[in-house]
Chains A and B, each alone.
Chain A
Amino acid sequence: MTPPAATAVDHGHVTVSAPAHAPKGGLGHFLSTYVFSKDHKVIGLQFLFSTLVWFLIGGLLALAVRWQVAWPWSDVPVLGKLFAQEGGQMAPEFYTMLFTMHASVMIFLVIIPILAGAFGNYLIPLMIGADDMAFPTLNMLSYWFMWPAFFFFGASFFVEGGAASGGWTSYPPLSTNTASSPASGWGQTLWLLGLTMVGVSSMLGSVNYMTTIILMRAPGMTMFRLPMTIWGMFITAILQAFALPVLTAAGFMQLADRTLGTGFFSPEGLIVNNAVPGAGGGQPLLWQHLFWFYSHPAVYIMILPAMGMVSDILTTFARKPLFGYRPMVYSVAGIAGLGFIVWGHHMFMSGMNPALGITFMVSTMMIALPSAVKTFNWLGTIWGGRIQFTTSMLFALAFVSMFIIGGLSGIFMAATPVDIFIHDTYFIVAHFHYVLFAGTAMGVWAAIYFWFPKMFGRTMNEFWGKVHFFLTFIFMNGTFFTMHILGAVGFPRRLADAYHYETFHHLQPLNAFMTWCAIGMVASQIIFAANFFWSMFYGPVAGRNPWNANTLEWTAPSPPGHGNFDFQPVVHRGPYEYSVPGCEKDHLMQTDPPNAAAAAAALAAH
């Protein structure tokens, strides 16, 4: 088992300070420990709590969107009173703002920061055996740069005209031209400023993650002994560092178009809403290229860490080594590499040269390949295992099951002729919700249930965890699977009311069904929230290693003190040595001394 502190002293590697809970007291101490902390764990938890709050806000925005789609122009409960415009009805510009902000919040304030910010921060030093990040101050700043973003996004709801309503893709001239819609005044400017701040935060984080993973691994932790979680975080950090500057630059160009009168994205001779805007000479398609050059890799930023965490959770609860570790690593790298040359598939219908569309179609088809390889390897991982149905495992299995759907539905859009029909319909809405909600969010829940004992020293309630899983799983599929069917009819996204079209007038009952499912899905999260906060204080106390897992974080105390390890971890093997034949326990931790393994292997040979 894990060498406790006493054994560690014998190794003579003790470098770590005692837990920093000296009774200093005072406001300064409180601020430096819990608010402006440079400890990666506190920063990780700060990210986690902030993003969960935004997750709730994003979810409620989604419900309001669903309300309008199911029962257009009917009085909105609760929200109608808060934002009453035409009686209790929703105005179409309000609806436009809702889906814009739902997507913006979910992508920029939830998914990206919860994966890289919360789990990346919390897990990277612990899983590689470091006492903290390479640059703790940068790390603290990466969290505090999120606050201007929170402020800009939050405040934009209350400025004249409301928050941004040009879609999360913010295509000009709709977004650059202040005459083009009621909300393209301050709302859009604040949106751009918020986006920039999220970018700064991500950039600070990614530099830190790369440096930490390259330079601060524990003795014996070679790159190919890293858990998949760390590989996911590492590749994600590289993607962010190389793709983000393009978005930041594009954001500043759009900001200049809006406030300084430049015309990067506006052509000559534009007449919007009977107003003639200023300088022209630009190109709306330029924004789309720059935006998707970041935002397509961002799709992988939003899934690779989840893939990594799910890989680790599947092996732990299948009690089996990961099937095809190296192919898994290579496919993550392959996804990241190809991820830079597929952005044009968002633009098949944009007016971009159709011949260029063919190039992007081929690269897009090929990026399905590493995803397929990963799926087969996950199936290989649970094959022949001894599966324990913990809540965490159920969410991880759901990730695999749902990612299959999200991955396969992508092929429809990648096929350019089919995309002519289903582009900008609910088919694509189904696709990215299967990847991002049914995929990444399942991975995030799996990770929360899995690492909660490490974070808070207590395990979450398994029974209520499973109830939460069951309800979320059912309602999620009720909400999103049916979107494929809407898409097959051609039902367009982003329409406040589509039922006046002859082609779509009969789709209201199906939409009402989906909205009921969505309400159920959000309501089920009450169980999660209650379980989360109750378990934080009253859950059963977890030891260092409640799941009998192999990776380094499980050798540290739960929760780990400042400096993480109370001994110097030395790594002797890869992270997935489960069920080694001849070994009396079914797992060999990365720090277990090699003689035990050698003895086991010798026994097995006999």
Chain B
Amino acid sequence: MRNRLSGIFWGLLFLAVPVLGVATFAVAPAFDHWLPKDVSTHGTQIDSLFYFILALTGIVFVVTEVLLFWFIWKYDAAKNDRPATYIHGSHTLEVVWTIIPAATLLFLAIYQMNAWADVKMRRPDMPPTVEVVARQFEWRLRYPGRDGELGTPDDLHLTNDLHLPIDEDVLIQLKSMDVLHSFFLPNVRIKQDAVPGMKIPVWFKAREAGEFDIVCAELCGWGHYKMKGRVTFEPRAAFDAWLERKYAEQEATQPAPEAGESLAAN
């Protein structure tokens, strides 16, 4: 009897895995413990792929865990006297459970390629909107000056306070001065490591105004946790006005550079 109870106890413990597992994922969004708000145009692709994989793996998770529970429950030695089935396997089953997951995984692999290409490969043909240079432990920003070109003496230099226009493609040129960093915009579903010695393009289109976090997502030293920036998305007019205000501020604090003087060293 005691043995039988122990089988029931362990069976239920293993049943708790799928029950509580699904419950955790079901409850989390209600407490705002879930994907943060997405304000990008490509984010929907990423989020729906996340949900698609969640549904797919969720089904496999529940089915396999419930099977495990059911076998533990049913084939408890204390419960029945029937001898164990003497079987070494099944060729048919092996073929079935190899081909079905293989097909599913291959489908998943092909299905997602487009989203990846949109975010990382189909770079818009335009000059950089801004250059972001990561450095222990801040984000240095450089906007092209009034001449619209990066690397000229009238460039606008700022730190940690990124502004970008909405409803149009923006292209960021990402660099690092010292160690690896990673440019992570949770609300835009963008992440890209900044690598010293490389210029890496990052592009997206925001579709909603607002102010959000810039997070460093690659360990960059003791101050990694505080390498925080803010990004403000605003309509083109507001963005231009902000840019103009910043130009004016910068010009007020620095003398006009001599012609030929190179402030633009990379």
Q: Report which A residues bind B (CB closer than 8 A).
A: 91-93, 96, 165-167, 171-174, 177, 180-183, 266-273, 280, 283-285, 318-327, 349-351, 354-355, 357-358, 361-362, 365-366, 368-369, 372-373, 375-377, 379-380, 382-389, 394, 397, 400-401, 404-405, 408-409, 411-412, 415-418, 420-421, 423-425, 470, 473, 477, 481-482, 484-486, 488-490, 492, 494-498, 500-503, 506-507, 510, 576, 578-581, 586
Q: By the criterion CB–CB under 8 Å, are B215 and A377 in contact?
A: no
Query: Which of A177, A379, A501 has the most B CB atoms < 10 Å from its CB?
Result: A501
Question: B98 to chain A: closest CB distance in Å?
Answer: 6
Measured in the bound complex, the distance between the Cα atoms of B177 and A579 in whole Å is: 67
A267-B196, A273-B178, A424-B182 given; 14 more Cβ-contact pairs under 8 Å: A269-B196, A318-B84, A324-B89, A351-B195, A387-B76, A388-B77, A412-B54, A412-B57, A484-B24, A485-B24, A489-B34, A497-B226, A503-B186, A578-B84
B255 contacts the other chain (CB 8 A): no
Give chain B residues whose Cβ lies under 8 Å from the Cβ of A502.
Answer: 212-213
Q: Evaluate whether A173 and B84 lie within 8 angstroms (CB atoms) in the complex, with A418-B49, A481-B21 already known.
A: no
Q: By the criterion CB–CB under 8 Å, are B198 and A351 in contact?
A: yes
Question: B180 to chain A: closest CB distance in Å?
Answer: 5
Give chain B residues whose Cβ lies under 8 Å from the Cβ of A323.
Answer: 87-90
Give chain A residues whose Cβ lies under 8 Å from the Cβ of B35.
Answer: 421, 488-490
Q: By the criterion CB–CB under 8 Å, are A418 and B46 in contact?
A: yes
Q: Evaluate whether A417 and B85 lie within 8 angstroms (CB atoms) in the complex, with A165-B222, A503-B213 already known.
A: no
CB-contacts of B171-185 with A (<8 A): 177-180, 182, 184
Contact with A along B103-141 (1 / 0, CB 8 A): 001101100110111011100000000000000100000
Question: B50 to chain A: closest CB distance in Å?
Answer: 5
Q: By the criterion CB–CB under 8 Å, are B266 and A379 in contact?
A: no
Give chain A residues whose Cβ lies under 8 Å from the Cβ of B77.
Answer: 319, 386-388
Tell which of B62-70, B149-157, B159-167, B241-249 binds the partner. B62-70
B102 contacts the other chain (CB 8 A): yes
Q: Evaluate whether A387 and B75 lie within 8 angstroms (CB atoms) in the complex, with A173-B178, A351-B192, A365-B105 already known.
A: yes
User: Which 3 A/B pairs are nearest by Cβ-Cβ distance?
Assistant: A267-B197, A384-B85, A93-B222
B221 contacts the other chain (CB 8 A): yes
From A165, A174, A355, B121 is in contact (CB under 8 Å) with: A355
Q: By the criterion CB–CB under 8 Å, are A384 and B68 in contact?
A: no
Give chain A residues whose Cβ lies under 8 Å from the Cβ of B32.
Answer: 506
Q: Evaluate whether A321 and B88 lie within 8 angstroms (CB atoms) in the complex, with A415-B112, A417-B49 already known.
A: yes
Q: Evaluate whether A375 and B64 lie within 8 angstroms (CB atoms) in the complex, with A284-B195, A485-B33, A506-B32 already known.
A: yes
Q: By the criterion CB–CB under 8 Å, are B10 and A389 in contact?
A: yes
From B36, B68, B220, A503 is in contact (CB under 8 Å) with: B36
Q: Could you give 13 example pairs across A and B, Cβ below 8 Å?
A: A171-B219, A268-B197, A271-B178, A273-B136, A325-B88, A379-B64, A382-B68, A386-B77, A404-B65, A424-B184, A485-B33, A494-B219, A503-B186
Q: By the criterion CB–CB under 8 Å, are A389 and B53 in contact?
A: no
Q: By the criterion CB–CB under 8 Å, are A420 and B221 in contact?
A: no
Q: By the criterion CB–CB under 8 Å, are B25 and A485 in contact?
A: yes
Q: By the criterion CB–CB under 8 Å, are A507 and B109 in contact?
A: no
Question: B179 to chain A: closest CB distance in Å?
Answer: 4
Q: By the criterion CB–CB under 8 Å, are B83 and A272 in contact?
A: no
Give chain B residues whose Cβ lies under 8 Å from the Cβ of A320.
Answer: 84-87
Interface range on chain B: under 10, 10 to 19, 20 to 34, or 35 or more? 35 or more
Question: A10 to chain B: closest CB distance in Å?
Answer: 31
Give chain A residues whose Cβ lies under 8 Å from the Cβ of B121.
Answer: 354-355
Measured in the bound complex, the distance between the Cα atoms of B135 and A273 in whole Å is: 9
Measured in the bound complex, the distance between the Cα atoms of B184 and A415 in whole Å is: 18
Measured in the bound complex, the distance between the Cα atoms of B77 and A473 in whole Å is: 23
From A267, A349, A372, B192 is in contact (CB under 8 Å) with: A349
Nearest to B216 among chain A residues (CB) is A492
B142 contacts the other chain (CB 8 A): no
Nearest to B122 among chain A residues (CB) is A354
Measured in the bound complex, the distance between the Cα atoms of B34 and A368 in whole Å is: 26
Q: Evaluate whether A507 and B179 lie within 8 angstroms (CB atoms) in the complex, with A351-B200, A417-B119 already known.
A: no
Question: B58 to chain A: closest CB distance in Å?
Answer: 8
Q: By the criterion CB–CB under 8 Å, are A321 and B86 in contact?
A: yes
Contact with A along B231-259 (1 / 0, CB 8 A): 00000000000000000000000000000
CB-contacts of B13-69 with A (<8 A): 13-14, 17, 20-21, 24-25, 28, 32-36, 45-46, 49-50, 53-54, 56-57, 60-61, 64-65, 67-68
From A96, A322, A498, B221 is in contact (CB under 8 Å) with: A96
Q: By the criterion CB–CB under 8 Å, are A379 and B71 in contact?
A: yes
Q: By the criterion CB–CB under 8 Å, are B105 and A366 in contact?
A: yes
Nearest to B76 among chain A residues (CB) is A387
Give chain B residues whose Cβ lies under 8 Å from the Cβ of A498.
Answer: 225
B260 contacts the other chain (CB 8 A): no
Nearest to B136 among chain A residues (CB) is A273
Measured in the bound complex, the distance between the Cα atoms of B195 and A173 in whole Å is: 9
Q: By the criterion CB–CB under 8 Å, are A492 and B215 in contact?
A: yes
Measured in the bound complex, the distance between the Cα atoms of B101 and A366 in whole Å is: 9
Give chain B residues whose Cβ lies under 8 Å from the Cβ of A510.
Answer: 33
Q: By the criterion CB–CB under 8 Å, are A382 and B184 in contact?
A: no
Q: By the criterion CB–CB under 8 Å, are A379 and B68 in contact?
A: yes
Give chain A residues whose Cβ lies under 8 Å from the Cβ of B105.
Answer: 365-366, 368-369, 411
Give chain A residues whose Cβ lies under 8 Å from the Cβ of B85.
Answer: 320, 383-385, 579
Nearest to A473 among chain B residues (CB) is B13
Give chain B residues whose Cβ lies under 8 Å from the Cβ of A506.
Answer: 32-33
Query: Which of B25, B213, B216, B221 has the most A CB atoms < 10 Å from its CB?
Result: B221
Q: By the criterion CB–CB under 8 Å, are B94 and A327 in contact?
A: yes
Nearest to A383 among chain B residues (CB) is B71
Measured in the bound complex, the distance between the Cα atoms of B223 and A254 in whole Å is: 23
Q: By the criterion CB–CB under 8 Å, are B89 and A173 in contact?
A: no
Nearest to B17 among chain A residues (CB) is A401
Measured in the bound complex, the distance between the Cα atoms of B53 and A429 in whole Å is: 18
Question: A297 to chain B: closest CB distance in Å?
Answer: 20
Give chain A residues whose Cβ lies under 8 Å from the Cβ of B198.
Answer: 267, 285, 351
